[in-house]
Structure 1
Amino acid sequence: ASDTERAVRAFVGEGVEVIVSLGGDGTNRIIARSAPQLDLIALSTGTNNVFPSMVEPTTAGMVAALAAMGRFPEESAFRIRTRAKVLHTVFSDGISDIALIDAVQLRDDYVGNLLPYDEAKIMRMLLTRALPDTVGMSPVGGLISVVEEKDDCGLLVEIGEKRDSDMHIKVPLSPGFFKEVAISSSQRVDLGESVTFEGEGILALDGDREHKLANNRSVSATIRRDGPWVYDVGAAMRYAVAEGMMLRPL
């Protein structure tokens, strides 16, 4: 994490305005936390990723070059880039942090744990995207109610006890690894609406277990659309062709 933070700060110091990232939700979370004003082309590597996209790297490089040269319009109407939703967390002791995809409260876990989630330890989650065609926490909500990146809301999901819940879903928590999760309730959360996590446990942000919760330490979570501007590589290339950019020297 620290090397990514140092790199982003160095880029910003050199006047960089467009970054191509190679990584997952956690890597892009650090970029967004360090420099939310940047334009971002996020390429997915690894597994369990929701925020970055599976894109041909050469094409992504072309879009990054055109963006750096200022060839794309600022107007969002062209749908070339979209400002990302960010899940902001403020703890009762004043510490703050962010996530791009999910904040998950876990019981009987510990800070720094790198093992996959045990479904029996998941208590509740707030998702900026709830997608049925992903792996990890996002499909826990996405198999109930779909929330896209373009939707100005998130989804709060409460996990129940299997013996007490009427709704049970099979979820791919990691590639090829399905587990049954009992759902107590779910509801959409508007942008700017606050959700409180309290009680004993760990709060994981985009999979990183960095924050401990206790009876005297709670956290308020709010989703806002104030993250990096993320490019749609396909839409950007189609715009470039429509404008004849490929037919003349760049």
Structure 2
Amino acid sequence: MGTVGILANPMSGRDVRRLAARASTTTLEIKRDQVSRVAIGAAAGGAKRLLVVAEPFRISTSAVEHLGLDVEIEVLDVGAELRAADTQRAVARMREAGCSALVVLGGDGTQRAVAKTWRDAPLVPLSTGTNNVFPLHVEATSAGLAAGLVASARVPLADVSRPVKVVNAEIAGEPPDLALIDAALLIGDAVGNFMPFEPARLRQLVLARAEPAAVGMSPIGGLLHPCGDGDEFGVAVLCGAHEDGGRALLAPISPGLFRTVHVKGVRRIEFGEPVTVEGPGVLAFDGDRERALAPGQRAVLSVSRDGPRRIDVEAVLARAAREGALLGRAHWHDAFDGAFGSGDCC
């Protein structure tokens, strides 16, 4: 059975960074409509079962309850509390249920929660967050269609995806961690701080992707040593305060918010090459400050290509076109049949 899991983070695109910078807010209604379009696309692609998650805002459950699709829809109750752990529990349940493709709506932090739970997840990440280097900016209908075509095996996953790069963090005396885009050491900061980071607190930065056209940590490396998704290396950046010297780089650290970052060094790092950081400080992963390092405590950061298998939506649909995957697919029906004088002739 071709199963697609659809997961929308209710809190993505809604945090305090909208007040501290100039990021847009992604409303619950926008996410609900996106989930509806993903579900319709997945069914059109051949998925026979859709998994969604129950949560207090009812984004996904309300999105799918009146679509009139000829698919099985299963609602997973993971005891959602509007925390990052909700995403991890939901992904674990979807993996156990035999999902062949995931469509996840959220920013870099949400997608990271997926990767921490299901390292090689077959993933279509859709952008609805603040830092959106990793997720795709693609129409939800097309994202769902691609996921459905992969889940139904009409298009082989191996032909239209490959593992993404990640930043691995081995922390002395503690469980490991990872980031999809950036891992940073900040001094004088606090775990759980959601405000845009102060560049003077940034000391070291390891990037799986250093994108000059992004916002956040990624362009700090990207505006000096670009490194894209397809490049087989990462980038390490050494930073300091104004009085420490270095080159003054004007960088967009959040949407609509530029600050000067003092860069003391930037270099290419090969896969597996260790970069050691030492506390005291806070480790931030994909913009989220989550792990405190005690004085003298060390963490070793490195880049590898063994993360989720991100599904290339354009490649899936091009393959479907070449092989006629949507030809001869009669009897499409949904809740709009007969509405506004419309209806499928078959």
TM bin, normalised by shorter chain, reads over 0.9
Contact 2:246 2:265 in 1 (8 A): no
Letter in 1 for 2:127: S
Measure the CA separation in 1 of the matches of 2:273 and 2:252: 29
Q: Does 1:59 align with 2:142?
A: yes
The structure 2 residue matched to 1:233, chosen from 298, 308, 313, is: 313
Q: Distance in 2 between matches of 1:159 and 1:240?
A: 47
Q: Name the structure 1 match of 2:232.
A: 152
Answer yes or no: is 1:182 the counterpart of 2:262. yes
Query: Equivalences for 1:40-59 in 2 at 5 Å?
Result: 40-59=123-142
Quick check: 1:23 aligned with 2:103?
no
- Distance in 2, matches of 1:160 and 1:6, equals 38
Q: 1:87 aligned to 2:87?
A: no
Q: State the shift of 1:103 in Å.
A: 0.5
CA distance in 1, matches of 2:229, 2:139: 21
More strand by share: 1
Q: Distance in 1 between matches of 2:267 and 2:328?
A: 51
Structure showing greater radius of gyration is 2
Once the two structures are superposed, the pairs formed by residues 31-180 of structure 1 within 5 Å of their partners are: 31-76=114-159, 80-180=160-260
* Structure 1 residue 165 displacement after superposition: 3.2
SS of the equivalent of 1:63 reads helix
How many angstroms does 1:233 deviate by?
1.0
**Counterpart of 1:14?**
97
SS in structure 1 opposite 2:98? coil
Q: Secondary structure at the match of 2:102?
A: strand
The whole-number CA distance in structure 1 between the counterparts of 2:273 and 2:248 is 27
| RMSD across aligned positions (CA) | 1.5
So what's the TM-score if we normalise by structure 2?
0.69
Distance 1:17 1:66 in 2: 10
* Cα distance between partner residues in 2 of 1:163 and 1:10: 50
SS at match of 1:216: coil
**Segment drifting more, 153-162 vs 50-59:** 153-162
The Cα of 1:163 is off from its aligned counterpart by: 4.4
Moved over 4 A (4+): none
Higher mean alpha-carbon deviation, 137-146 vs 218-227, is at: 218-227
2:120 alignment partner AA: Q
Aligned to 2:282: 202
| Alpha-carbon distance in structure 1 between the residues aligned to 2:157 and 2:175 | 34
Q: Determine helix, strand or coil for the equivalent of 2:183.
A: strand
SS at match of 2:144: helix
Q: Which moved more, 1:216-225 or 1:126-135?
A: 216-225
Distance 2:246 2:194 in 1: 31
1:160 Cα deviation from its structure 2 partner: 2.8
Cα distance change, pair 110–37 in 1 and its aligned pair in 2 (3 A): same
- Amino acid in the other structure paired with 2:236: L
Counterpart code for 1:63: A
Going from structure 1 to structure 2, the CA distance change for 1:8 and 1:188 (only over 3 Å counts) comes to: same
| Alpha-carbon distance, 1:216 to partner | 3.1
Task: Give, in whole Å, the separation in 2 of the partners of 1:222 and 1:163.
Answer: 29
- Segments of 5+ residues of structure 2 without an aligned counterpart are 1-83, 331-346
The answer to whether the 8 Å contact 2:187/2:202 transfers is yes
Equivalent-residue separation in structure 1 for 2:238 and 2:190 (angstroms): 20
Partner-residue secondary structure (3-state), 1:90: strand
* Aligned pairs, number: 247
Segment drifting more, 169-178 vs 234-243: 234-243
Instruction: Say if 1:137 and 1:244 are closer, same or farther in 2 by CA, change over 3 A.
Output: same
Task: Measure how far apart 1:55 and its partner are.
Answer: 0.7
Which amino acid letter does the alignment assign opposite residue 125 of structure 2? A
Deviation at 1:6, TM superposition (A): 1.1
% identity of equivalent residues? 42
Shift of 1:48: 2.0
Shift of residue 47, structure 1, vs aligned partner: 2.2
Quick one: distance in 1 between partners of 2:242 and 2:315?
43
